[in-house]
Homo-oligomer: A and B are copies of this chain.
Amino acid sequence: MPQYNPPIRDTRFVLDHVVGLQSRANLPGFENATADMVDAVLEEGGRFVAEVLFPLNQVGDQQGCTRHPDGSVTTPEGFKAAYDQLREAGWMTLGAPEQFGGQGMPHTVSTAFEEYMISANMAFAMYPGLTHGAIAALLAKGSDEQKALYVPRMVSGEWGGTMNLTEPHCGTDLGLIKTKAEPQGDGSYAITGTKIFISSGEHDLTDNIIHLVLAKTPGAPDSSKGISLFVVPKFLVNEDGSLGERNALSCGSIEHKMGIHGNSTCVMNYDGATGWLVGEEMKGLAAMFIMMNAARLGVGLQGLGVAEVAYQNAVQYAHDRRQGRALTGAKEPGEKADTLFVHPDVRRMLMEAKALTEGLRALCLWGAMQVDLSHKAQDEAERQLADDLIGLLTPVIKGYGTDKGYDIATAAQQVYGGHGYIAEWGMEQYVRDARIAQIYEGTNGVQAMDLVGRKLAQNGGRAVQAFFKLVGDEIAAAKGEEAVADFVGRLERALNELQAATMWFLQNGMKNPEHVGAGAHSYMHLMGIVATGLMWLRMARAASGLLAAGEGDAKFLNAKLVTARFYAERILPDAGALRRKIEGGAESIMALDPELFMAA
């Protein structure tokens, strides 16, 4: 019953006018991303996910994954066939390097496709998504031998990949992990321990699964400084790339979760499994952060992707369902009732979803471009700037993006009234699926602490200053433009609130770091509002410029201006409240003994 249409026009508008993809044709890999090529990716990729993956979304939720007595896991009906099609059509290889069999397209372009895949079927999209994270870690830290052995077949999708971090007693605090890696004298290690919450840990989609596993070597410090990263394949791989014997690892059980039922979330048991060190011993945390940073941006994209499909369905329902009359008198007197669209409060929810999904799409694609630039820009200063900006905003895209993704999915469900609570309509699944994105890859509280505790202060605050300059410069440049004058004034006020909050942290964090921790979550949202506001400034300026030039679809461009206005009037005002909350500090938060929470 639900539906999904890839928002191709909007993606294209963002790539052209916010991200400036075409102006980057001089960068390596970007020469392939011609306008025609990008159009083909968006249109054919969009059609593929809508036709092949989306119809499996509800069935995946209803069936979930099944673990058999031998420890094997089957995915929901149709997943395997769809995965084969995905692989054969080459959609998994878009952004991977050409030397390993990929198409070498900009990350910006593969991110656009990935959003569509998530919207169509988030649980399914996690299988290739985890593989991409594992590839990124192997490319960055693996030996040439490891890259040659594993990466080509992961790029092609013949093999899957996973990240094994969490254990029953620790997730955030990885220094506590107990999994052991004993050297076997032949260069390999015997890995022993239990990992939980392993997404795509065991399944029937690929011939092999390449697990990346955090473990401690003998004598290593019993803290995060003692962690090493290992590659531990489900089947050992012979030198010629053929599969060897089954490794001593298995799926002990599948978790019963709130959502993403189509993805197998496994307890993985390593019983002296054979693994090899990736990168240097006791440098596992750094290697892991390569996976994590890519994964966090991917999770931010999940917030957007699920919000988008939920929003689209709410729009359709508001258009179809007739209930009540417009406050200004019947809009369609010939019908027994008007559509939900006439009701301002329904529109409020839809406009909020529209303003945030379009804003987050721009932010995610802009962020993907910073990833590209951080690797490929031609001068060092530009690479560093891009790296600073995406480092700063990764926790914002993850934390703010997924908090808003959940809010939007919830509001979209609300548009359906009672029907939204009924499984067959599909809306409640979006809420359940969206919920995990706030939790995994570091909870949003952890993102907030990463932002204020690490990213703000790094390199003497270079990144946040660069961000302030970026927003401030674009505000200054827009000041003469009448069409965006009101927007610019409001965005400037929001930026001022963000700068004031940053200053408050500087002044009070030295006295007591808990003042910073207590405001971290509000600060993450405040920066999310300003960053998304910058995207809306760009979109509004582009729209008014195109309109003035008589170019483009006037209705679409006018809608951009209206939505920017909504963003300014209805979302930017939260900036002031967030600043005031931050300035509340830590005292009332930290004052009470735990026991005073426990017996009301």
Taking beta carbons and an 8 Å cutoff, which residues of A are in contact with B? 5, 7, 9-10, 166, 169-173, 175-176, 196-197, 222, 255-259, 312, 315-316, 318-319, 322-324, 327-328, 336-337, 339, 341, 343-351, 354, 357-358, 406, 410, 413-414, 417-418, 420-424, 428, 431-432, 435-436, 438-440, 443-445, 448-449, 453, 512-514, 516-518, 520-521, 555-556, 559, 562-563, 565-566, 569-570, 573-574, 576-577, 580-581, 584-594, 596-600
- Contact in complex: A513, B351 (CB < 8 Å): no
Q: Which of B166, B322, B428 contacts A258 (CB 8 A)?
A: B428
- Measured CB to CB, the closest approach of chain B to A334, in angstroms, equals 14
- Contact in complex: B423, A256 (CB < 8 Å): yes
Question: Whose C-beta in chain B lies nearest to the C-beta of A566?
Answer: B588
A196–B598 Cα distance when bound, in Å, is: 41
A337–B176 Cα distance when bound, in Å, is: 8
- Contact in complex: B600, A258 (CB < 8 Å): no
Residues of B within 8 A of A512 (CB): 328
Residues of B within 8 A of A417 (CB): 171-172, 439, 443
Residues of B within 8 A of A449 (CB): 345
Q: Which of B170, B418, B593, B599 contacts A197 (CB 8 A)?
A: B418
A316–B328 Cα distance when bound, in Å, is: 52
Residues of B within 8 A of A596 (CB): 555-556, 559
Find the residue from A7, A343, A406, A555 having the highest chain B CB count within 10 A. A343
- Contact in complex: A598, B258 (CB < 8 Å): no
Q: Which of B323, B421, B556 contacts A173 (CB 8 A)?
A: B323
Q: Which of B169, B173, B315, B345 contacts A445 (CB 8 A)?
A: B345
- Measured CB to CB, the closest approach of chain B to A592, in angstroms, equals 6
Question: Whose C-beta in chain B lies nearest to the C-beta of A315?
Answer: B597
Known: A327-B514, A570-B584, A598-B319. A421 touches B435 (CB 8 A): yes
- Contact in complex: A345, B576 (CB < 8 Å): no
Interface contacts beyond A196-B418, A256-B424, A431-B435: sample of 18 additional A-B pairs, CB < 8 Å, sorted by A: A7-B600, A10-B600, A171-B323, A173-B324, A257-B421, A318-B597, A351-B588, A354-B597, A406-B410, A413-B435, A414-B438, A414-B444, A414-B445, A417-B439, A428-B432, A556-B596, A566-B589, A570-B588
- Contact in complex: A323, B588 (CB < 8 Å): no
Question: Whose C-beta in chain B lies nearest to the C-beta of A424?
Answer: B256
- Contact in complex: A414, B428 (CB < 8 Å): no
